């Protein structure tokens, strides 16, 4: 009952899905690099503040810099994976693809019924 048009639609959908997945992988990699670079910059800055405080003999600045670095690392370890999961992974993506395929098949069946009624 499947005709050539529905098969072509499925092939086109599959090609578009593959392109989208490839783009998504690239975006994930860019996001990860930016997140890691930002984390590294924060850690280096905190360490620099702590070292500068130690060399200047100001223990309060050294301790505050070290604590800021520690807090930033903890926040990053907890928050970055949740950000990646929230923004880069669509929870309903497979469900949406299944619904699209069902709708395409339903339309094809309705089209064939319509053609049979007209014949």
CA 80 to chain centre: 11
pLDDT of residue 17: 79
**What is the pTM for the complete model shown?**
0.52
Instruction: Give one DSSP letter per residue of 84-113, joined into a string.
Output: HHHHH--TTHHHHHHHHHHHHHHHHHHHHH
Can you list the residues of the chain whose pLDDT is less than 70? 1-2, 85, 87-91, 119
Contact (CB, 8 A) for 53 and 62: yes
pLDDT of residue 88: 67
> CA–CA separation, 101 vs 11, rounded Å?
11
The Cβ-side half-sphere exposure at 41, using a 13 Å CA radius, reads 6
Instruction: Give one DSSP letter per residue of 3-19, joined into a string.
Output: -HHHHHHHHHHHHHHHH
pLDDT of residue 78: 76
pLDDT of residue 2: 56
């Amino acid at each position: 009952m499947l005709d050539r048009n529905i098969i072509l639609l499925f092939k086109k959908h599959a090609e578009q899905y593959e392109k989208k997945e490839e783009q998504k992988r690239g975006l994930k990699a860019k996001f990860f690099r930016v997140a890691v670079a930002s984390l590294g910059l924060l850690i280096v800055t905190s360490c620099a503040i702590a070292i500068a405080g130690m060399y200047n003999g100001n223990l309060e600045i050294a301790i505050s810099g070290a604590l800021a670095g520690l807090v930033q690392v903890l926040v990053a370890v907890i928050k970055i994976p949740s950000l990646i999961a929230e923004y880069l992974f669509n929870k309903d993506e497979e469900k949406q693809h299944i619904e699209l395929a069902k709708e395409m098949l339903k339309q094809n069946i309705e089209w064939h019924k319509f053609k049979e009624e007209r014949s």
